[in-house]
Structure 1
């Protein structure tokens, strides 16, 4: 039985049949740190899991008051409250749970949101709450962003390989967790913790993701100075590195502080639109040839940004991403002749 001050508990429900504690009071927990849901109860007579199942079915703010009999013949009332964290496809990605005395008033729920990496469309779908986490005004919300647009918000992300392995080659039971340092619209640096599970449902193949702003409990990581220096040195030479999914010609992430200025990679309906459809086979074929090592120089047309031609011949030095992920991902350096 817990006697500590009641805190909000974050329980991921990313795929059917899963219900796991991933944070308590703003402190993230790993998938592997399994905690019995019943142990969360303020009194052993309260059935936590049945309550959570009812809350999950409601898909909205859900509350119950439970009257627990004491040994002396009296009773104590407890308040059980949940707020759902909905994803962009309507699935409940998590429940925020608070349990305490019925006369206690909980603080505001944690800042959380749900997004989905939709592999077949080449986009990341996001809810309004996901947009607002980084300071985007509601009227500026865009329901879908390309992966490159979405991760442009990140100023420090150390486990690119882990997340992309899950999202680009999802398998049943696949998971990923980690943290990002994200720049807020007001200029401050935030730390977001992420829990993600592979999703194989038709129309949603990719990954379901849960974001949690933990800036108040975990110090955000700052950009590494040597990385910034290397990025700016390449930009000074007119070279702009990025990550691609060659099989789909999908731009997933820029590896430079300022992306190639002639490429229209923002405000496109899909990450597939960045490269000319007739040139996609060039990227895929080159990647096949360099998977054993080395690199190759190719020229493909990229969508021109405003003020440029509609399609611009772009030189690319392509090599395979290190390790097993290289089957799905390539590193390219883009530059003009």
Structure 2
């Protein structure tokens, strides 16, 4: 049983026996699990087990306790799931006869979404999960990078609503098929709860690797594959953009190849600093239901900026956030939408310091098949 501890003093059950429980009350679930081991039921109470769970959470270290019963010695094992700052995001609990080897648990890690930086902090242990190559590990990633790894998923709007408006009590659990770039399928279960306290404003996550040969990852449907291929052949580049925050949230098609959007320290760096305020202004116009067009400077893989036309449409679905559907078009100098500041095709930025994780980007490309 996995008990999430993503917010203080309010644990709940994330999963039992590999099955989702969507924040079920821990007391009832724990009583049911204890009843399945009658020998321990006679000598231990749920309060004692909860105390063991609390100690593991506080110490962030695994605990194993041998309990003598009338049926022989039994084992209570409590293992923490750690996040990027060393906090315990969940505990994995198992109890049974000491003579029986505990089941091998799938890897799991904690993560933290920080709204101010719009990044997800992840520990190095995430490389143990299927779908993440060690040479591509970065301590932070954008939500667009996570969504780009997801091959079959349709709850993007719910996720973005929670992340960009982290109200107390908000929580969400979902499963998603993940690809590692080489086409190897895997599956993750993600539980997240909103937080706004002295540790920051955002959401704490629990990520469980639930890849199993008995439950293979679902392949994308015909409509999704067909539409993506049609857009690829037409050269269409579409994304969901948080205009008010100046960041790309999710690519609906293949990403625009002239835009560096991945492996960045800050997702905002996709857009030139002087253009971000213009995106915020555009957000007000689009929120009233009107489409708009603008040319901005987008970061490229050579370290400069490329003028890019944005054709912006209101998001047609339901969302609490002012999302926009944006078509990215490589703008030619002298475009009708161009501004004087955007008419230089390659505007070089200050390259005295890196803008992102360049080594990991090269690894993703296959040992430097492109230049930076």
The offset of 1:333, in angstroms, is: 1.1
For 2:295 and 2:90, the matched residues in 1 are separated by 45
For 1:303 and 1:202, the matched residues in 2 are separated by 33
**Paired residue total:** 321
2:271 pairs with 1:278: no
1:336 match? 330
2:32 match? 39
2:238 match? 241
Render the CA deviation track for 1:217-262: whole Å, top value 9, x for unaligned.
5442221221222223223333211112111101122111x21000
- C-alpha change, 1:33 and 1:320, in structure 2 (3 Å) is farther
Unmatched tracts of structure 1, length 5 or more: 1-8
1:267 match? 263
- Indicate the SS of the match to 2:6: coil
1:224 match? 221
Whether the 8 Å CA contact 1:320–1:326 is kept in 2: the answer is: no
Unmatched tracts of structure 2, length 5 or more: 332-372
TM-score under structure 2 normalisation?
0.80
Instruction: Select between 116-125 and 321-330 the one with higher mean Cα deviation.
Output: 321-330
RMSD of aligned alpha carbons: 2.1
TM-score under structure 1 normalisation?
0.88
Render the CA deviation track for 1:254-278: whole Å, top value 9, x for unaligned.
111x210000112211101000111
User: Which consecutive aligned stretches of 4+ in structure 1 deviate over 6 angstroms post-superposition?
Assistant: none
Whether the 8 Å CA contact 2:287–2:322 is kept in 1: the answer is: no
- C-alpha change, 1:131 and 1:150, in structure 2 (3 Å) is farther
Render the CA deviation track for 1:67-126: whole Å, top value 9, x for unaligned.
23x4xxxx6322111221111122211111111112222122222122111111121111
Whether the 8 Å CA contact 2:115–2:163 is kept in 1: the answer is: yes
- C-alpha change, 1:54 and 1:25, in structure 2 (3 Å) is same
Query: 1:1-337 maps to which residues of 2 (within 5 A)?
Result: 9-32=1-24, 35-41=28-34, 42=37, 43-44=40-41, 45-47=43-45, 48-68=49-69, 70=70, 76-184=72-180, 187-216=183-212, 218-256=215-253, 258-306=254-302, 310-322=304-316, 325=319, 327-337=321-331
- C-alpha change, 1:153 and 1:27, in structure 2 (3 Å) is same
